[in-house]
Structure formats: structure tokens, C-alpha cells
Chain A
């Protein structure tokens, strides 16, 4: 029982750390603000959630502590992190940050022209 739970916890921690690393790598490698934000807001959310889940399971199985605030944190991060990514991207677009040269499609551009701004 403890072996299985230990391996699950270890697996969760490794997945979480790997996703955070992948997010950091994506922020360095990707060409423009929007794709970078895409990497940062998606991958880190899942990475942090995996780490928190591993922490929760560790405390629950090893010490028999039900840490409800960790679950609350998971819900909270799932709720707020995409919203913050959206707001940062929106602010970047509205202040006129250019897209990557090779990007094909800009849906917001059409609505912008229709609005006449």
C-alpha cells in the first residue's frame, strides 16, 4: 500500500516538476508574447496542480492530515491562472504588441476594423 502510494506521489512530483520545466523552456524558446504566454499559463497551471496534489496525498497518506486548504488552492489556481493569462494577452494585444511574422490568422483584427478604431 505504502509502496504504491509512494510511487504515485513520486510520479506526481516528477510530472509537476517536468511540466514547470517545460513551461520555462517554452517561455525561453517561443517567438512572441502570445505563444510564450500560452506556454507559461497552461503548463505551469497543470504543473503546480500536480505538485499540490502530490503534497496533499503525501500529508493525507503519511501523516493522516486532511489539508483542505491544498484542495482549495488547486481550485483557486485552476480558476485564476487562465484568467490572468487571458488578461495579460489581452493587454498585450490592446497595447499593440505585434504577432509573430509567420502567424497566419488574426481574428481580433477583423473586429477591430469593424469597430473602426
Chain B
């Protein structure tokens, strides 16, 4: 009971911090790997405090697909540079007009990092779920 209430509070702090360290990865220590590990750590905390069913109710995702989507992001950003006649994995940088946020400086390395993030979450959760379900 205490663990479950504490999990409810802690989960948001952990996920917030993981998202922060994911986005701060360009200028500070952090990045896709640590952010992904921390997010999956939060999900594992949910898994410990509740059970497998609760996690599946909250996040009805097959984590194996998450690996595929992450790899697609990474290969996609790498291959997109081929269309602009530059070598593979060349990243672009620019100020983009986004409807809500206004002018934002974006870098395609973030998309690559998003791929890493998704793959790390997918791999960790797949490992833990397959070990946990095994009886």
C-alpha cells in the first residue's frame, strides 16, 4: 500500500527527469540512453508496485514494436540525408516554425536520439517482461 502510493508520486518525478535528461543531452550530460534507461526504470517501478496487467492497461504497447520504431527513426534520419546529396548520417540544423511553439532551433540529431531512446526502453522492458512472465 505504501509502496503503491509512493510509486504514484515518484513515477512522475522519474519520468519528468528522464525526459529532461533526454532533451538536455545536447548541452549537458544525459541523452537518449540514460533517458531511456530511466524511463524504463520508472516502468519497472510500476511493475514492482503493481503487476504486469496494470502496466499493460496503462501502456498497451508491445515493446518489441518500440524497438522497431526506434531503429526506424535512427535509420530514417540517417537515410534522409541521402536525399539532399550529402553523405549518410549527415545531420541538419535549422530554425523551424512550429505552429504552437513559434520559432525553435531544431537539430536532426534529436531524432536520432529519439530512436536510441525508444530502442533502449523497448529492449529493457522486453528483457524484464519476458523474464517476469516466465514461470
Contact = CB atoms under 8 A, between A and B. Distances in A.
Interface of A: 69, 72, 75-76, 79-80, 83, 86-87
Contact of A76 (B2, B3, B10): B10
Contacts of A75: 13
16 contacts: A69-B17, A72-B13, A72-B17, A75-B13, A76-B10, A76-B13, A79-B6, A79-B9, A79-B10, A80-B6, A80-B10, A83-B3, A83-B6, A86-B2, A87-B2, A87-B3
Interface of B: 2-3, 6, 9-10, 13, 17
Contacts of A76: 10, 13
Contacts of A69: 17
Nearest to B6: A83
A117 B6 CA distance: 28
Q: Which secondary structure characterizes the binding site on chain A?
A: helix
A79 B6 CA distance: 7
A45 to B, nearest CB: 14
Contacts of B13: 72, 75-76
A68 B2 CA distance: 27
A76 B13 CA distance: 8
Contacts of A83: 2-3, 6
Nearest to A90: B2
A76 B3 CA distance: 14
Given A80-B10, A86-B2, 8 more contacts: A69-B17, A72-B13, A79-B10, A80-B6, A83-B2, A83-B6, A87-B2, A87-B3
Contacts of B6: 79-80, 83
A86 B3 CA distance: 9
Contacts of B10: 76, 79-80
Nearest to A76: B13
B20 to A, nearest CB: 8
B39 to A, nearest CB: 16
Contacts of B9: 79
List 8 A-B pairs, minimum CB-CB distance, nearest first. A83-B6, A83-B2, A86-B2, A76-B13, A87-B3, A80-B10, A79-B10, A79-B9
